Amino acid sequence: MKSWGLVDYSPVFLAMKAFTEARQAGQPDEIWVCEHTPVFTLGLAGDPVHLLQRSNIPVVQTDRGGQITYHGPGQIVVYPLLNLHDYGLKVREYVSLLEQVIIDSLVAVGVPDAQRKPGAPGVYTWRHGQLAKVAALGIKIRKGCTYHGLSLNVDMDLTPFTHINPCGYAGLETVDLRTIGVKISLSEMQLLLVKNLQKALDSARSAGSPPVNPPASG
């Protein structure tokens, strides 16, 4: 696992794109983890109309799927840089795997109703009688290899989410773990999430595939 710490979005985006473009056959996969400084990112099919309010937070056009989302401190961002062929996974299966990893991690810390929402990638929990989003997904596949990934809201300023239609859905509430009563540090949740991701990938990996780099200790 490579930890970038708290970092601007664009350098990491360019680095994972370059890593994927330069990949050679048999090159080990990597998992990158970070927090981003405040930024709105707009996917390939993203419509700027979903940015409801301008602010000093930059908007970056990126090449993942999906609409607009927000990244900021207190949110775990995980970028799996994988060769999907080594895991026998198709794109939809990979998305489902990521969602299940998040769900399993949330259930483990006391969110028993963590779930998918049909037609809306990500992970949700019930709040105020409706589903609220706690984790988002956005991926890119290039030559059978993945970049971009997932984000999980742990303990962050949620105000910027009110400046957008999150992932293109008007009126969708976005929550973090603190808001729904889960007290866990960012580092603890990060380690649990990456551990569960590696476990899921190990289960899916085809015979003879290269190992994912293990997480750093501590």
pTM: 0.92
Residue 166 lies inside a defined structural domain of this protein: yes
* Residue 64 assigned to a binding site: yes
Residue 218 lies inside a defined structural domain of this protein: no
* Residue 130 assigned to a binding site: no
The predicted pLDDT at position 206 comes to 53
User: Which phi and psi (to 5°) does residue 5 adopt?
Assistant: 70, -150
Q: Are 54 and 169 in contact (CB under 8 A)?
A: no
Residue 84 lies inside a defined structural domain of this protein: yes
Residue 209 lies inside a defined structural domain of this protein: no
The predicted pLDDT at position 171 comes to 86
| 187/197 Cα distance (integer angstroms) | 15
* Residue 92 assigned to a binding site: no
| 136/65 Cα distance (integer angstroms) | 11
* Residue 88 assigned to a binding site: no
Residue 210 lies inside a defined structural domain of this protein: no
Helices (H) and strands (E) in the chain, counts: 3, 9
Residue 215 lies inside a defined structural domain of this protein: no
Those residues with Cβ within 8 angstroms of residue 215's Cβ, 6 or more apart along the chain or in another chain: 1, 31, 191, 194, 195, 198
Residue 31 lies inside a defined structural domain of this protein: yes
Number of folded domains that form the chain? 1
* Residue 108 assigned to a binding site: no
* Residue 149 assigned to a binding site: yes
91-108 vs 186-204: helix crossing angle, rounded to 10: 140
The predicted pLDDT at position 46 comes to 87
The parent domain of residue 150 ranges over: 2-204
Q: What is the CATH number of the domain that holds 99?
A: 3.30.930.10
Q: Are 32 and 12 in contact (CB under 8 A)?
A: yes
Positions marked catalytic: 167
| 103/27 Cα distance (integer angstroms) | 29
Local mean pLDDT, 10-residue blocks, the chain (218 residues): 97 97 94 98 91 95 94 98 94 96 98 94 95 97 96 98 91 95 97 98 68 40
Which helix (H) or strand (E) is 189 found in, with range? helix 186-204
Residue 130 lies inside a defined structural domain of this protein: yes
The predicted pLDDT at position 170 comes to 87
The predicted pLDDT at position 212 comes to 46
